[in-house]
């Protein structure tokens, strides 16, 4: 019995001795890893800092407006006899649109012409009477008073004839109003009348609206702090304006054409317009578009994504991957930012700037780069939230999770000690039996 107990004690001591070996090895490995300069490598993706000319742009939302839009209305009261176009047609300036019932005005013209002929006859008679009186005055048969009287009749009749000619022109103008023509070129809108419709000058609704589509304008508002930028662009020839069509349908290039003469005191903005060629009719009056006005070009700018910039206690920094796959923090100054880009100082062209995984970095951290397109996938998510996976292992499961957090009594070391104890107890039970 004493011999059996001694054998069990020796086996337990032996098992404890074996269990201490993995624990010691793991501790040594952890110490070595901690002294390896920055700890475990952090999985990151990086982009190159670019050196290029960068356009400073002011962005706004604009409304497409026609440069010329005319409501066509009648100038006389009459009835529509014919419509010479269809809704949506493109018409040219001077093209006939509507014909009205012209009979009353034609009658007025004929009446005025007849009156002119009558008065011309009266003028001819007065001139003959004046000629006779002059002959008789030369023979001393009539006095000078008779000659002057006939001269007055001739002058008065000439004025009547001139009045008749003016009356004819007025009647012809009224007659011309029965032929309604396009005041400008453009696209015809909805036709609101039909043959037989009685129209009047006082009618509120237009017969049709003619809208010019090419060229066309985009109207938008800029904050008053950008007024001088807009004026400078206008003085230099209009600058470059881009109209961004919705739903990714492309962009159109135009020029700044107008800056309003006052700032809206209510909104603190100034109204500006840009003009665009619109032969393809991509811009339509009343539609909303994005507008980008280029007011300056920064030469040889260093451009990085805005997402690479980290706001730290000492200011804005980016992490640059240096030789030996070490992360180095660089303090930067943002000169200008727009969209996803930022113009900065503090980095060199071609530097590998960390994009994904930057929140897990410290100055001098070890990094391992992954492809940029993996940053949004599952691997990228693990890299951002949990650091890099251990080599040769999945980096998941209870064991790996415990090892990563460093909890006591978990991981490979604790499992080795537990296995050794269970083996010793099993051997002891077998020897006793």
The token duo for 185 is 């070129």
Residue-wise pLDDT for 169-213, tens only, equals 999 999 999 999 999 999 999 999 999 999 999 988 999 999 999
What is the reported pTM?
A: 0.59
Give domain status of residue 24, yes or no: yes
The confidence score (pLDDT) of residue 357 equals: 87
Residue-wise pLDDT for 125-155, tens only, equals 999 999 999 999 999 888 999 999 999 999 9
291 and 311, same structural domain?
A: no
Give domain status of residue 397, yes or no: no
146 and 192, same structural domain?
A: yes
The confidence score (pLDDT) of residue 324 equals: 85
Which whole number is the average pLDDT over 226-235? 90
The confidence score (pLDDT) of residue 425 equals: 39
The answer to whether residue 326 scores a pLDDT higher than 70 is: yes
Q: Which residues fall within 8 angstroms of residue 48, CB to CB, at 6 or more apart?
A: 350, 351, 352, 353
The confidence score (pLDDT) of residue 196 equals: 94
Contact (CB, 8 A) for 370 and 334: no
pLDDT range class, residue 260, cuts 50, 70, 90: very high
Give domain status of residue 395, yes or no: no
372 and 252, same structural domain?
A: no
Give domain status of residue 229, yes or no: yes
The confidence score (pLDDT) of residue 115 equals: 96
Look at strands 367-369 and 42-48 and give their pairing. Answer: parallel
Which helix (DSSP H) or strand (DSSP E) does residue 258 occupy?
strand 251-259
Task: Write out the residue range of the structural domain in which residue 269 sits.
Answer: 59-67+216-299
194 and 234, same structural domain?
A: no
Share of the chain above pLDDT 70, in %: 77
**Which of 300, 291, 273, 293 lies closest to 229, judged by CA?**
293
Mean pLDDT of the chain: 80
185 and 78, same structural domain?
A: yes
The token duo for 42 is 């952090």
Phi-psi category of residue 232: left, alpha or beta, with phi > 0 → left and psi -120 to 50 → alpha: alpha
Give domain status of residue 176, yes or no: yes
Give domain status of residue 401, yes or no: no
167 and 81, same structural domain?
A: yes
Give domain status of residue 398, yes or no: no
Q: Which residue has better confidence, 424 or 153?
A: 153
Of the listed ranges 83-92, 227-236, 237-246, 400-409, the one predicted with least confidence: 400-409
The confidence score (pLDDT) of residue 236 equals: 84
pLDDT range class, residue 362, cuts 50, 70, 90: confident
The CA angle 338-341-342, to the nearest 5 degrees, is 85
The confidence score (pLDDT) of residue 392 equals: 36
167 and 92, same structural domain?
A: yes
Share of the chain above pLDDT 90, in %: 61
The token duo for 23 is 């624990």
CA distance 344 to 172: 73
How large is the C-alpha radius of gyration of the chain?
Answer: 48
226 and 254, same structural domain?
A: yes
Residue-wise pLDDT for 208-217, tens only, equals 999 999 999 9
Give domain status of residue 392, yes or no: no
Helix (H, G, I), strand (E, B) or coil at 151: helix
CA distance 319 to 358: 7
Q: Which of 267, 284, 299 is the last residue of a domain?
A: 299
Please give the tally of structural domains in the chain.
4
263 and 193, same structural domain?
A: no
The token duo for 411 is 């991981």
Q: Which of 273, 299, 325 is the last residue of a domain?
A: 299
């Amino acid at each position: 019995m004493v011999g059996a107990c001694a054998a069990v004690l020796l086996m337990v001591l032996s098992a404890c001795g074996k269990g201490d070996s993995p624990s010691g090895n793991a501790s040594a490995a952890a110490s070595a890893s901690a002294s390896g300069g920055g700890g475990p490598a952090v999985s990151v993706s990086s982009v190159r800092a670019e050196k290029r000319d960068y356009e400073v742009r002011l962005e706004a939302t604009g409304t497409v407006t026609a440069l010329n839009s005319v409501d066509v209305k009648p100038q006389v009261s009459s009835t529509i006899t014919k419509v010479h176009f269809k809704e949506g047609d493109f018409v040219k300036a001077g093209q006939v649109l509507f014909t009205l019932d012209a009979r009353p005005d034609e009658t007025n013209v004929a009446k005025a012409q007849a009156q002119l002929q009558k008065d011309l006859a009266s003028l001819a008679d007065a001139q003959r009477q004046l000629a006779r009186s002059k002959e008789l005055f030369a023979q001393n048969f009539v006095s000078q008073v008779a000659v002057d009287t006939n001269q007055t009749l001739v002058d008065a009749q000439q004025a009547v004839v001139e009045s008749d000619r003016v009356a004819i022109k007025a009647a012809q103008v009224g007659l011309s109003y029965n032929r309604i023509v396009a005041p400008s070129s453009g696209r015809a809108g909805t036709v609101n009348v039909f043959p037989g419709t009685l129209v009047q000058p006082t009618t509120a609704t237009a017969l049709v609206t003619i809208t010019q589509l090419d060229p066309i304008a985009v109207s938008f508002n800029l904050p008053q702090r950008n007024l001088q930028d807009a004026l400078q662009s206008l003085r230099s020839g209009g600058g470059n304006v881009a109209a961004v069509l919705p739903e990714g349908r492309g962009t159109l290039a135009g020029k700044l054409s107008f800056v309003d003469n006052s700032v809206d005191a209510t909104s603190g903005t100034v109204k500006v317009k840009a003009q665009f060629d619109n032969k393809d009719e991509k811009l339509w009056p009343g539609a909303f578009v994005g507008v980008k006005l280029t007011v300056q070009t920064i030469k040889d700018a260093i451009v990085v994504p805005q997402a690479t910039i980290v706001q730290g206690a000492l200011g804005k920094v980016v992490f640059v991957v240096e030789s030996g796959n070490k992360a180095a923090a660089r303090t930067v100054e943002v000169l200008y930012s727009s969209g996803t880009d930022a113009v900065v100082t503090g980095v060199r062209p071609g530097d590998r700037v960390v994009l994904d995984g930057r929140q897990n970095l410290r100055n001098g951290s070890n990094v391992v780069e992954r492809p940029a397109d993996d940053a949004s996938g599952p691997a990228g998510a693990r890299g951002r939230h949990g650091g890099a996976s251990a080599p040769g292992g999945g980096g998941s499961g209870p064991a790996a999770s415990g090892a990563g957090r460093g909890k006591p009594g978990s991981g490979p070391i604790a499992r080795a000690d537990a296995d050794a104890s269970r083996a010793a107890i099993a051997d002891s039970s077998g020897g006793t039996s």
